[in-house]
Amino acid sequence: MMDVTVSALHARIYEVVRLIPHGRVATYGQIAAHVGRCGPRQVGTALARLPARSDVPWQRVINAKGEISVRKDGSPSDEQSRRLRDEGVVFERRGRIDLERYQWTREEMLWAQPCGRFLGDEH
């Protein structure tokens, strides 16, 4: 049997990613800044460790260029593209997502916080 223990940091990352609305995207850096005390790579690692049938909408997290990040094999995830398209996200000709149109904004992130805590209020 496999150990499915999730660190507190990964649990917090998953909690924030679950808040991203259907048809919207956020960047790894956005999630890291919102979670605090981690960087974009840690967000990517947390999402890469999700079990296959997870309810975390991992497909909604993309890189700062508006692209799907490449995987270990060097190519972007076709599954991620398909899921985003199914949610109504449109890719431009070069395979990028228009962040001005689809990005989850900081204000929306703050309103989505279930505890009403704002960034910087970590007392």
**Mind giving me the DSSP string for 3-38?**
-----HHHHHHHHHHHTSPTT-BEEHHHHHHHH-S-
Q: What is the pTM of this model?
A: 0.84
Reported as a single tens digit per residue, the pLDDT across 83-118 is 999 999 999 989 999 999 999 988 887 777 665 444
In the chain the domains, ranked by start, together with CATH numbers, are: 8-112 (1.10.10.10)
Dihedral pair phi/psi, residue 84, rounded to 5°: -65, -45
Does the pLDDT at position 123 exceed 50?
no
Higher pLDDT, 37 or 121: 37
- Band (4; pLDDT cuts 50, 70, 90): low
Cβ(49)–Cβ(41) below 8 Å: no
Cβ(56)–Cβ(14) below 8 Å: yes
